[in-house]
Amino acid sequence: MKYILKCFFSLFLVLCSFFASAQKATVKDSTLTKKDSVKPKTERYGLRVGVDLSKLTRSFYEKDYKGLELVGDFKFTRKHYLAAEIGNENKTVADDQLNFTTNGTYLKVGFDYNSYENWIGMNNMIYVGMRYGVSAFSQTLNSYSVYYANTYFPKPIIESGQKFDGLSAQWLEVVAGVKAEMFQNLYVGFSVRLNHLITNKTPDNFDNLYIPGFNRTYGGNFGAGFNYTVSYFLPLYKKTLKNKENKTK
């Protein structure tokens, strides 16, 4: 009987020692987990550069158009981006009474606000923004026809070739669009734009019916456009997220 009690007592001591060791290990693991859980998270910031595919492909299938637009944005807060587009367009428009060619360059600068809640490491966008656009260009009046009330006889086409240099325009642009990461750091985007002319230097006895970067004026101060972009994100630095942002992520 004493031998059995002695065995149970020895087993009890071994079990107590085992549970004590296990408890110490659990406390240690819990401490490490707690330290890991409060480890500060970082988010990437940098520059995204790309090209407008709509203008690039249009240059191949539309014989009266040549254009190229480079796009870029810079993330400076979690929600705000500086944005810019620079490009060149050469467009010939053939209307019922006019045939003219517009050639020039443009620059747009502004900002975007991203309303999409990204996980850490993501830079997808559902955004709205504004741009201030400026354009310097020339117009060449290729030919025109004189209006006659009598439509029985065909309208005579008058060849001109008159060129108007030193033209310019400035406008405001409201932008809405999306950008999504398709592969690592490679983004595809689409945006629509509504434009309002601020200044418009026109030639004598002629009007700027097409402005590079602004598109058709439609006889007024308003215009519209869109772009379809592919761009690459270049991470430049990282920022530590605040505690509230860490909890959200």
Domains of the chain: residue spans and CATH: 42-248 (2.40.160.20)
Q: Which amino acid is at 216?
A: R
**Residue 125 corresponds to which tokens in the numbers above?**
């966008």
Please, are residues 197 and 210 in contact by the beta-carbon 8 Å criterion? no
pLDDT, one tens digit per residue, over 124-177 is 999 999 999 999 999 998 886 666 555 555 555 565 678 899 999 999 999 999
Q: Which amino acid is at 227?
A: N
pLDDT, one tens digit per residue, over 195-229 is 999 999 988 777 888 999 999 887 678 889 999 99
3-40 core/surface letters (b: 16 or more CB in 10 A; e: else): eeeeeeeeeeeeeeeeeeeeeeeeeeeeeeeeeeeeee
